[in-house]
Amino acid sequence: MSGFVLSCCSTVDLTAEALEARDIKYIYFNYELDGKPCKDDFGRTNSPAELYAKMLAGADAKTSQVSTGDYVEHFEKFLSQGLDVLHATLSSGISGTYNSAVAAKNLLAEKYPERKVVIVDSLAASAGYGLFVDRLADLRDEGMSIDAVRDWAEAHKLELHHWFFSTDLTFYVKGGRISKVAGVFGGLLDICPLLNMDNLGRLTPRSKIRGKKRVMKEIVARMEEHAQGGLDYSGKCYISNSACYDDARAVADAIERITQWDAAFRTQILDLLQTDETGLLTGPLADRQRGATPKAVKDVLKARKKAEKKGGEYVETPGDKDAVGEAIHADAELAARDLYLVARIT
């Protein structure tokens, strides 16, 4: 037994069943739909499909944070049983719920002086928040104390990466995040903003990308760039969506393809790769390189070899990627793919 309760808000974008399976307690956020108060109760009151349909039809939707009184009631359920509580909140950069939780903690301190209520500002949102809380559950289950879990959370929470994209600017305009004019032009130009959470837990636009396919490709590239170990990352990845499951599935498929592709070719290519002093292959791939390999691929390998001779390290440029990408669509597809992977992973 851990001796403490791990708790979060319903905005972790996980199901109630997933939280209950991990023994993570939760408290509901609130929202209003056309003036009617509702609980963010994992779709029991309004299923996601129903909620999005109503919003797209013009219903007025507003969210509201958990109140101090609701937090007092939530925490006291556990304190009265002799249990300490660690509650991770939605980011203070987008909600005031952290302040409400701290206020509730202070109100309960006098009544339960022997108990602990620890509040952690996750600086996270959506599925990233869910991934963060899931990791805290792992640490609790490994036997960490409440203080050790808090210390780990504070030390590592900024290592969490979560990226978002949107193909519909309607609610950015409605929520005042962008102007109506920008929304109109963005829609006409098929602009899909790519955003993430910054170090203060604020949702921050990073790129404006034309077209859904391009932004989906870019979000996968950002994961490869930032994941611990790159394509060797073996941890969890959560993907959530707002009534666009097919798009989320396509992103998941793309992630699985690049990781499986890399793993499958890594051993094979390292075994096959043998080069002479000019950087040309001398092993089993030599005939394919001399006869069919596009110039763009050869240039990447030669530049890499030249940099190494000078004692430096060749850094692949976006131009290299584009050139090799075009080569992959040529007749020499297999050679380009093999050699591109060699340039990346050795």
Same domain, 151 and 8: yes
Same domain, 223 and 307: no
Longest dimension (CA), the chain: 81
pLDDT grade for 329, boundaries at 50, 70 and 90: very low
Q: Express each pLDDT in 155-214 by its tens digit.
A: 999 999 999 888 877 777 666 656 664 555 556 567 888 889 999 999 888 888 888 889
pLDDT at 2 over 70: no
pLDDT at 142 over 90: yes
Contacts of 198 (CB under 8 A, 6+ apart): 93, 204
Same domain, 175 and 192: yes
pLDDT at 231 over 90: no
- The parent domain of residue 119 ranges over 4-29+65-159
3-state percent helix, strand, coil for the chain, nearest multiple of 5: 50, 15, 35
| 101 belongs to a structural domain | yes
| Across 18-27, 101-110, 281-290, least confident range | 281-290
Which of 71-75, 241-245, 336-340 has the highest average model confidence (pLDDT)? 71-75
Considering the entire predicted model, what is its pTM?
A: 0.74
Higher pLDDT among residues 232 and 253, named by residue: 253
Of 56, 68, 25, 61, nearest to 45 by C-alpha is 61
In DSSP notation, 119-165 reads EEE----HHHHHHHHHHHHHHHHTT--HHHHHHHHHHHGGG---EEE
| 51 belongs to a structural domain | no
pLDDT value at position 163? 93
Same domain, 223 and 312: no
CA 6, 10, 11, 17 torsion: positive or negative?
positive
Backbone φ/ψ region at 143: left (φ over 0), alpha (ψ -120 to 50), beta: left
| Across 6-20, 117-131, 251-265, 272-286, least confident range | 272-286
Same domain, 213 and 101: no
pLDDT grade for 109, boundaries at 50, 70 and 90: very high
| 39 belongs to a structural domain | no
For residues 284-297, give the mean pLDDT. 53
For residues 270-289, give the mean pLDDT. 55
pLDDT value at position 311? 65
Sheet of strand 117-121, all strands in order from the earlier edge strand to the far edge: 25-27, 4-9, 84-89, 117-121
Higher pLDDT among residues 77 and 293, named by residue: 77
pLDDT at 1 over 60: no
Same domain, 74 and 153: yes
pLDDT at 300 over 60: yes
pLDDT value at position 123? 97
pLDDT at 49 over 70: yes
pLDDT at 19 over 90: yes
| 40 belongs to a structural domain | no
Same domain, 15 and 127: yes
pLDDT at 37 over 80: yes
pLDDT value at position 168? 78
- What angle in degrees, to the nearest 10, is found between the helix axes of 333-345 and 245-272? 80
Same domain, 183 and 98: no
Same domain, 291 and 247: no
| 313 belongs to a structural domain | yes
Inter-residue contact 124 to 201 (CB < 8 Å):
yes
pLDDT grade for 259, boundaries at 50, 70 and 90: confident
Output Rg (C-alpha) for the chain, integer angstroms: 25
CATH code of the domain covering residue 228: 3.30.1180.10
pLDDT at 345 over 50: no
SS3 for 178-211 is CCHHHHHHHHHCCEEEEEEECCCCCEEEEEEEEC
What is the residue-averaged pLDDT of the chain?
Answer: 81
pLDDT value at position 344? 47
Same domain, 108 and 141: yes
Q: What are the beta bridge partners of residue 125? A: none
CATH code of the domain covering residue 14: 3.40.50.10440
| 266 belongs to a structural domain | no
pLDDT at 22 over 80: yes
| 239 belongs to a structural domain | yes
Domain C-terminal end among 201, 233, 258: 258
Same domain, 14 and 148: yes
Percent of the chain exceeding pLDDT 90 equals 47
Domain C-terminal end among 114, 139, 159: 159
Q: How many domains does the chain have?
A: 3
Same domain, 222 and 241: yes
Domain C-terminal end among 159, 185, 214: 159
pLDDT at 27 over 80: yes
Inter-residue contact 274 to 256 (CB < 8 Å):
no
CB atoms within 10 A of CB 289: 20
